[in-house]
Amino acid sequence: AQTVTQSQPEMSVQEAETVTLSCTYDTSESDYYLFWYKQPPSRQMILVIRQEAYKQQNATENRFSVNFQKAAKSFSLKISDSQLGDAAMYFCAYGRSNFGNEKLTFGTGTRLTIIP
Amino acid sequence: KAGVTQTPRYLIKTRGQQVTLSCSPISGHRSVSWYQQTPGQGLQFLFEYFSETQRNKGNFPGRFSGRQFSNSRSEMNVSTLELGDSALYLCASSRQGANYGYTFGSGTRLTVV
């Protein structure tokens, strides 16, 4: 079974600074998908970034980028120019590449605090 | 466009009762998945419906069931509620499935007393 590990329960960063959230996963498959989701106090999970494992290029979305190291099974999220609105729980998630049998396995989350 | 709508937002039920939660996906999304979120177990997959058929199921007892209607709206039902069923239940919709990325609703907070 696939597992996703987020080893940092809490992180904090000064506003406008850069922070990196860690995620490792365990799988025997070569093709899969990885995600970062954000859950603010409003409870609604929001997709931050999506990475397809067969693509070497790291995904980016504005101030959010990932460092995808397939051999090391590592998928970290970098947030640049942190803003107060970035404060939330961040979940890393793994999805098997199995059309018709898709579901996500989530990590335990990292609570990110932004210090003004 | 309208997002994923879950109703009700909060619910308090007594042990032994049953409950039905509702989810209206984004228009055009045929896949609806349900997740249970608790402080102890985190986010756990319940099931996925696609075009009115259950396509995938997680490791939950048979007390947890669901269905999807022709307009893609989905309901999940929990019978014989237990205290451990207290959780945030999240609905997520997608055009094709999880790997395309979900749009989540704000969840239903269920408290069993």
pLDDT of residue A102: 82
Question: Beta-carbon neighbour count of residue A12 at 10 Å?
Answer: 13
At B42 the three-state DSSP class reads strand
Please report the pLDDT score of residue A98 as a whole number: 75
If pLDDT is split at 50, 70 and 90, which confidence band does B14 have? very high
Average pLDDT of B53-82? Answer: 96
| Tens-place pLDDT, residues A28-56 | 998 999 999 999 998 999 999 999 999 88
Quote the pLDDT of residue B1: 63
Which residues in B lie closer than 8 A to residue A103 (C-beta atoms)? 33, 45, 48, 56, 58, 98
Model confidence at A78: pLDDT above 80: yes
CB A94 within 8 A of CB A105: yes
Q: C-alpha distances in angstroms, A22 versus A8, A83, B20, B35, B101?
A: 7, 19, 37, 23, 20
| Mean local confidence (pLDDT), A90-114 | 91
Q: In the predicted model, what is the mean pLDDT of residues A9-24? A: 98
> What is residue A101's predicted lDDT score, i.e. its pLDDT?
74
pLDDT per residue as tens digits for the range B16-49: 999 999 999 999 999 999 999 999 999 999 999 9
Residues A94-112 have a mean pLDDT of: 89
* DSSP secondary structure string for all residues of A98-113: -TTS--EEE---EEEE
Nearest to A106 among B43, B103, B107 (CB): B43
Residue B4: DSSP 8-state? -
Q: Is A104 on the interface with B (CB under 8 A)?
A: yes
Tell me which residue has tokens 């997680």: B58
Q: Considering chain A, what percentage of its residues have pLDDT values greater than 90?
A: 84
Chain B neighbors of A35, CB-CB under 8 A: 101
In chain A, what is the greatest distance between 2 CA atoms, to the nearest angstrom?
Answer: 45
Whether residue A99 has pLDDT greater than 80: no
